[in-house]
Amino acid sequence: MKRSRGAALAAFIALLSAGVVGAGPASALANGTAATPGQYAFAVKLVMTNIPTSTGGTYDSGCSGALISPTWVITAGHCFHDVSRNPVSGPVPYSTTATFNTVTTNPTPTTAVTFSIDTVQQSPTADIALAHLSGASAANNPVRPLHLAATAPSKGTILTMAGWGATQAVNPTPSNQLYWGQMKIARFSSTTVSVTGYAPSSNTSACPYDSGAPYFTSGATPLLVSTESNGPNCPHTTAETTARIDNQTSWIHKWVPDLP
């Protein structure tokens, strides 16, 4: 959900006070490029409905993510939380669907794979969550998963990001079109990777509802380097905070038995 609707600021403050790094909901990519049919099929659109609030109401939201096995999606930890905005593990806290392998987007994605999320696992050290696809298997999920990076990030590396968020921060809404762009690694820590816009523009940047979107290398076998966590209002030319993947692989292997 990065910066999602009117609740974004409250969510950000509450999650920071809960000790979650890079908290806040997400949108589609600002100043990016529309994906062609089937491009980046592993890029997941997460739709959350009837999310409860502390005052007794509900709202809808969304995040982005990536398929990392036939049965599991990786996304931002803050996408799944309780009414107090604390990230949660276990049964999914509200109805959530995952859609990917999109072919057309007008007016909504079609010829795509859609599953419900049934359980979530939170990383103990980063703003990362694993979401399990209910009823999914290698037999009924034809999409090739995104592989995980096993080595540390390198400053200056160009990464591609593909997300389902908004395209700007003013009255943002999740997109029905997958967008992608390229970012450059500016620096990294033990849990985060900071990136800046590279192409098609220096202010190509993540927006609300892009939370959890994958940042990956190019090539025949793309590697997931990080996932969207938080950043300034889009579009912008400053650093975006993403969650580092390579030192999360032992924890991911614990929960995901069918990694490629």
107-151: pLDDT as tens digits: 777 778 999 999 999 999 999 999 999 999 999 999 999 999 999
Neighbouring-strand partners of residue 64? 45
In this predicted model, which residue has the larger pLDDT, 21 or 81? 81
In contact, 131 and 46? CB cutoff 8 Å: yes
Q: Give the C-alpha distances (Å, rounded to integers) separating 203 from 83, 117, 184, 195.
A: 34, 33, 12, 11
Q: Above pLDDT 90, what percent of the chain?
A: 77
In this predicted model, which residue has the larger pLDDT, 160 or 170? 160
Residue 16 has pLDDT above 50, yes or no: no
Segment 42-47 shows an average pLDDT of 97
- Same domain? For 24 and 134 the reply is yes
Neighbouring-strand partners of residue 37? none
Domain membership of residue 34 (yes or no) is no
Would the CA dihedral through 78, 28, 224, 153 be positive or negative? negative
For tokens 């969304």, the residue is: 62
- Same domain? For 79 and 193 the reply is no
pLDDT value of residue 239: 96
Domain membership of residue 260 (yes or no) is no
CA distance 230 to 76: 9
Q: Above pLDDT 70, what percent of the chain?
A: 88
Domain membership of residue 120 (yes or no) is yes
- Same domain? For 114 and 171 the reply is no
- Same domain? For 156 and 108 the reply is no
Q: Give the domain CATH number at 218.
A: 2.40.10.10
Domain membership of residue 136 (yes or no) is yes
Residue 14 has pLDDT above 90, yes or no: no
- Same domain? For 129 and 153 the reply is no
| pLDDT, averaged across the chain | 88
CA distance 28 to 213: 9
Counting the structural domains of the chain, the total is 2
| CA-based R_g, the chain, Å | 16
pLDDT value of residue 18: 34
pLDDT value of residue 219: 87
Residue 8 has pLDDT above 50, yes or no: no
Q: Which domain holds residue 224?
A: 148-246
Q: How confident is the model at residue 231 (pLDDT cuts 50, 70, 90)?
A: very high
CA distance 91 to 111: 28
Segment 36-56 shows an average pLDDT of 94
In this predicted model, which residue has the larger pLDDT, 101 or 10? 101
